[in-house]
Structure 1
């Protein structure tokens, strides 16, 4: 009997250990990461944000399967600087990426970098960090972080790139090769190849090939779908326009463009499920800045302001995150976060060590979302452009203007920023004003400066969309 017991244990124990090791190995498997990034979308222009006009079933489903963030901020209210903050995990003002997008014409700019304007090559990107963790990395769509070769995505940590270097282009294939290399579709480095069909669909289709390839190889991947939808030009497919017979003008077109964006998101989510990797994939959806209502008829309601302003409508964006088994489905997170939090969040999820991340401003969001850390991810956030600036400290927000006294708002009671409390809170007002200036003194000088006429234009745009207009 003893002999039989010994034989049984000899066989059973290793099998038991093997099963336990396998389970441990599975739980430690690195998650795939997909970042779905919209361009110039309105805060209110999704079903999960309450829109009754837009048709976004795939994003609405993503919201029900993950966490919706009600106070998510970008690092800047325009495309290029916002991307610079996200991709480096830090406030881009600290390395001089402040003024605006990389300008198109040198006659309109004074620049430290001359024709070589872009994301400084010494800055480490989220793709750089994830490659160190063994990830395959790819970006599809809009780059907008410098057109010179040394700023190219494939030199900034991305293994694959299919997209364009500039900030905007046609959604339809060019019949003739564009003279400006920033507008050309490019595969890899220097291989110009126009897409077929509608660009938003094409970008999703390209990403599916990358996803399938790496899933088959059992290799963790990071796919950054940097859509240019719904940025101008206002291009939409006729069949998408037909879905909105009750709308007219640009509002009709932006609705059709949003439908295409949602369809592209659906393609990606469906592919993850088809491949059986959806339960081991982090999916984030967000936007680069507030909607430019005057350009594409987007809506930021109930927030005041638009793109390029420091009002909530310029800097607060829709934000969703899904991670099965790690995040509770169909929940909301109400404390302020920022898009520069994505780099440390992704890196830690990939198995990275916080001591490896140098000189960033973002934090790993997971402990905050799950309630392990009850504090706010950020007590203070800052924004700046030329003489204009803003800061949020706790629930208070100060906005400094170039042509009038600064104003103070208490956001829980006034997210539309209509009730200036500067006179009622003089001590708080002065303290925040001084803290904002103290922060500015720590920054690198801007790498380029636009003509002052652009600043005047944006102040005028701010006034036009503040307070909230019914036409928005």
Structure 2
């Protein structure tokens, strides 16, 4: 009798487990902007205080080798939202008016993500999801590229790539209309508080209104991107730092507080157990903001690890083990298929995406690596990650080869010791590049030269 009861109990637990995973999950994607790899408590920082994100890390899984698809904001967001290498549809560089080469196919507000590319929100809509984007868009200023035309149901944010954390003046709004704070479509109203806090309020309001049906909120913070602006209250909480690092630490306090407010709202409404929460960042920390990418070399705009490897947390109760880590390379390309499958869809039926559903890998149902190869490209620079090896091709010097597993700092160039491996990786990189479209817009050549110089200046990891 006891044995029979045990069998029935085990069967019931299995059924509950299957039901828990098969039920449509809410999806909350917390996305920072230009943050340093090391500038979080869960990443090892002793000077930047992030208690809410540290708790999220303890409740979920921390990924040690998570990569964006680009070392700058706009292209990385295009890859993230489509699950496709953004170079496949002609996006390699940020769409920043005034910096573009006159040979570009698209210029000004027309620089945007092609309209035939589908987003995460497009795929979630037929699955019954209501989708919201907050904060930074940066995928086209023209009306035709607007988030509400790209699958999202709600938008509270700005179309451009960076703006003040305080309300814009009329003069500022007139000078850069893409930076106006927009509610829905063409309704502009500046927030009455610091922008990171306003974004958190809107996220919580959305969650409250949609608590009884599946939802996706893409919380695209502009923190901690420039301009470096913080509240007096947050600045007063920072001890032991001065200058830009102090302001950045205060901005990070606000970012962490906003994330904590959203996580608390999920708990308050009893949604925590049925919600996938992801936190990450769009690219490596830039040198100009005094971010810290330790122990990685490089920074934003170059393809050393410090430019493309980012903090990454994933929490899914009853599926992902709390307090765990994942050490194999993953990509922001993986968000779309992961979100679609968690929403009850079937990402394997989506054609021409480059990402994979991460859940089977992190739950060890699939013990292979999620990606045999990962690629990056910008101008004449091309990068391939294959297993533990990473090769970088440059326009002004011989290729470099690193064993990232043994040398994540990229200090020991092994290209001369392994010429055959370089040759094989060159061929894989070239084959991939032959699948890509020509860039729709390109920076003036001088900015590529500047990016190479920043890479050389940031070759050695620096700990704050």
With the shorter chain as reference, the TM-score category is: over 0.9
Q: 2:388 aligns with which of 392, 395, 410?
A: 395
Deviation per residue, 1:185-225 (Å, 9 max, x gap): 0000111111111000000101111000000xx11000000
Task: Determine whether 1:385 maps to 2:378.
Answer: yes
Task: Determine whether 1:39 maps to 2:33.
Answer: yes
CA distance, structure 1, for counterparts of residue 338 and residue 327 of structure 2: 17
Q: 2:206 aligns with which of 201, 204, 210?
A: 210
- The answer for unaligned runs of 5 or more in structure 2 is 1-13
CA distance, structure 2, for counterparts of residue 219 and residue 109 of structure 1: 48
Q: After the TM superposition, which residues 191-230 of structure 1 pair with which residues of structure 2 at under 5 Å, given as runs? A: 191-215=187-211, 218-230=212-224
How far did 1:245 drift? 2.9
How far did 1:108 drift? 4.3
Change over 3 Å in CA distance of 1:420–1:189 after alignment to 2: same
Change over 3 Å in CA distance of 1:385–1:22 after alignment to 2: closer
Normalising by structure 1, what TM-score? 0.92
Partner of 1:4: none
DSSP-derived class of the 2:288 partner = helix
CA distance, structure 1, for counterparts of residue 419 and residue 16 of structure 2: 62
Q: Using the TM superposition, name which of 174-183 and 453-462 deviates more.
A: 174-183
Change over 3 Å in CA distance of 1:109–1:184 after alignment to 2: farther
Change over 3 Å in CA distance of 1:74–1:109 after alignment to 2: farther
CA distance, structure 2, for counterparts of residue 373 and residue 40 of structure 1: 32
CA distance, structure 2, for counterparts of residue 23 and residue 312 of structure 1: 38
Task: Work out which of the two has the higher radius of gyration on C-alpha atoms and give 1 or 2.
Answer: 1
Partner of 2:426: 433
How far did 1:468 drift? 2.4
CA distance, structure 2, for counterparts of residue 212 and residue 97 of structure 1: 36
DSSP-derived class of the 1:448 partner = coil
DSSP-derived class of the 1:192 partner = coil
CA distance, structure 1, for counterparts of residue 309 and residue 264 of structure 2: 28
How far did 1:379 drift? 1.1
CA distance, structure 1, for counterparts of residue 383 and residue 40 of structure 2: 27
Q: 1:373 aligns with which of 363, 366, 375?
A: 366
Task: Determine whether 1:233 maps to 2:234.
Answer: no
CA distance, structure 2, for counterparts of residue 129 and residue 446 of structure 1: 26
DSSP-derived class of the 1:450 partner = coil
How far did 1:107 drift? 6.2
Partner of 2:4: none
DSSP-derived class of the 2:442 partner = strand
DSSP-derived class of the 1:341 partner = helix
Partner of 2:450: 457
CA distance, structure 1, for counterparts of residue 280 and residue 120 of structure 2: 16
Task: Determine whether 1:134 maps to 2:108.
Answer: no
How far did 1:408 drift? 0.4
CA distance, structure 1, for counterparts of residue 384 and residue 334 of structure 2: 17
CA distance, structure 1, for counterparts of residue 15 and residue 53 of structure 2: 37
Task: Determine whether 1:308 maps to 2:297.
Answer: no
Report the number of matched residues: 448
How far did 1:389 drift? 1.3
User: Is contact 1:380-1:391 (8 Å) kept?
Assistant: yes
CA distance, structure 2, for counterparts of residue 41 and residue 23 of structure 1: 36
Partner of 1:466: 459
CA distance, structure 2, for counterparts of residue 432 and residue 126 of structure 1: 31
User: Is contact 1:37-1:285 (8 Å) kept?
Assistant: yes
Change over 3 Å in CA distance of 1:149–1:77 after alignment to 2: same
Partner of 2:268: 274
User: Is contact 2:166-2:193 (8 Å) kept?
Assistant: yes
CA distance, structure 2, for counterparts of residue 24 and residue 398 of structure 1: 42
How far did 1:358 drift? 1.9
How far did 1:243 drift? 1.1
How far did 1:24 drift? 7.9
DSSP-derived class of the 1:205 partner = helix
User: Is contact 1:232-1:295 (8 Å) kept?
Assistant: no
Q: After the TM superposition, which residues 299-448 of structure 1 pair with which residues of structure 2 at under 5 Å, given as runs? A: 299-448=292-441
How far did 1:109 drift? 4.2
Partner of 1:50: 44
Task: Determine whether 1:184 maps to 2:183.
Answer: no
Task: Determine whether 1:93 maps to 2:87.
Answer: yes
Deviation per residue, 1:347-372 (Å, 9 max, x gap): 00111023431210000000000001
User: Is contact 1:111-1:117 (8 Å) kept?
Assistant: no
User: Is contact 1:110-1:450 (8 Å) kept?
Assistant: no
